[in-house]
Amino acid sequence: MRADGECASVRFLPAGTRAEVAPGSTVLAAAAAAGMVLPAPCGGRGACGRCAVKVIEGALEPPEDRELSALARARADASLVRLACMARVAPGEVTVRPLAAAAAVATAGEVGSAPRLVAGVDLGTTSVAAQLIDASRRTLIGSVRIPNRQASFGGDVLSRISAALGGEHEHLMAAAEDSILDALSTAGAGPSVAASTLERIVVAGNTAMTSLLLGADVSGLASHPFSHALDRLDRITDTGLAARLGGVEIRMVPPVTAFVGGDLVAGVIAAGLADDSADALLIDLGTNAEVAAVTGGKVVVASAPAGPAFEGWGIACGGQAGPGGIVRIAPGGSIVGLRAITDEGPPSHLTGSGLISAIAYLRRAGHLDADGLLRPEGPCSERFFTAGGVLAVSLGTDPLDRRVFLSQLDVRALQSAKAAVCVAVKAVVRAAGANSVRDAVVTGAFGGALETGDLVELGIVPTEAGGALRYLPEAALQGAAAMALEPGLFEDAQAFVSRAEHLDLAVGESFTSEFVAALRLEAFSL
């Protein structure tokens, strides 16, 4: 709402949901506020037309030249059809209807009937997330992220592969299935929805997690040269998950290589980088970090074992987003030195974003040097203590409350994770021949909004990306959900996979030296 009190109201058919937004907001932003799902796989450049809407009542602001050009290419009448990613709302009320191919148009009599549900799933190493969508009304019913039950077999991909080869494959498969079913149920489906209204599930995951879910041979993922056994992923009908879900259509997002999986591909779809983007960079901060550089017609991808620190695990007081999860650290005055900002309630654990924020804060406060060594001297000196023989700093509201802390070992875990990402970013950008970074997307289950300054100053992203950075913390999940709602996006995903050139960092002679150099907590340039 503007200071003068003006506001705009956008109503979306056939669901009838409404959002109040500030005049000048895009229809796409209004849709997100209303819980409507409008895929925009081109990232808001007007190149795909899949976010097109028809104005039913009221009016939007007149289209600008960029939107007119995009509509002209699509041979669409600008007086009737608008692109949600570009069209801006005017003060007053307007009613629109999505025109995407997969937007089933419900009649007035169908609105109250049983919903047609589709779901997107992000099968991560550390956690499993699901979005449940009413396809008839194009509304988001629920979204959730829960721990992956496979954690008892190891915290990283290689541990899971080793366990599978040691005879635990069936147990790992069942744990993945249980995790997906739990996530769907928690998102709002309920335990019996699969037998009634759930029509399609699209699962995005790294190649190892997908292989373990499908019972595929993972021996090729255990040693160099790495390979996978995922040949046909169009529709999954002969797995335990398919049997437990009855007649639900299950589709898997295709991987690029053994360690660049469908989660990165789904993220690319959500970020709008599947077309001929120029000088774009996508960084997935996860246990298995994945990076893609897109320069016009060339795509280069790579992966690196970062460990679970970015996801809030593998550290002394870590965990995922939720009540008590510290998502950011901010200056807290002369007495407490710092204050922990949580999703809700008193601080109880560090999320991935909280870990990054805490280390960046301590670095600026002089309590942490570039080599990652904690130093008690400084404004937060009263917070330092020894935990298990290791120097640590309290993050509680009370400086003497030592229940939530960050230790020297946690700093080392972040250093290792960020060094892996740094080496991968430099390698793919160099191989792609990018001269600049015009668009940089950071994604991952880090639990909160990341500060650009923190990522640049710690050397997690290059300085060149600082001014072009955007955050899509659930890109893989959003991409999977968009593909569930609009199966035609699978063609875009497959086209991206076919174009991608994989860079194997393990065979590079300079990897070790570059990794060691990247351990320093300081900014870097491409």
Whose tokens are 């970015």? That residue is: 310
pLDDT of residue 89: 92
pLDDT of residue 106: 30
pLDDT of residue 135: 86
pLDDT of residue 218: 92
- Enumerate domains of the chain plus CATH numbers: 8-98 (3.10.20.30), 117-252 (3.30.420.480)
Q: Whole-prediction pTM value?
A: 0.77
3-state secondary structure 165-176: HHHHHHHHHHHH
- Which positions of the chain have pLDDT values less than 70? 1-5, 14-15, 39-49, 73-76, 100-114, 189-197, 232-238, 276-277, 333-336, 508
The residues that bridge with 350 in the sheet, in sequence order, are 318, 326
pLDDT of residue 107: 28
pLDDT of residue 253: 94
The residues that bridge with 282 in the sheet, in sequence order, are 292, 441
Radius of gyration from C-alpha coordinates of the chain: 23
pLDDT of residue 112: 42
Cα distances (Å, whole numbers) of residue 94 to 10, 20, 52, 91, 140 = 5, 11, 15, 9, 21
DSSP state of 64: P
How far apart (Å, rounded) are the C-alpha atoms in residues 232 and 406?
45
pLDDT tens digits, 184-219: 888 875 555 544 568 899 999 989 999 999 888 999
pLDDT of residue 406: 96
How far apart (Å, rounded) are the C-alpha atoms in residues 96 and 116?
21
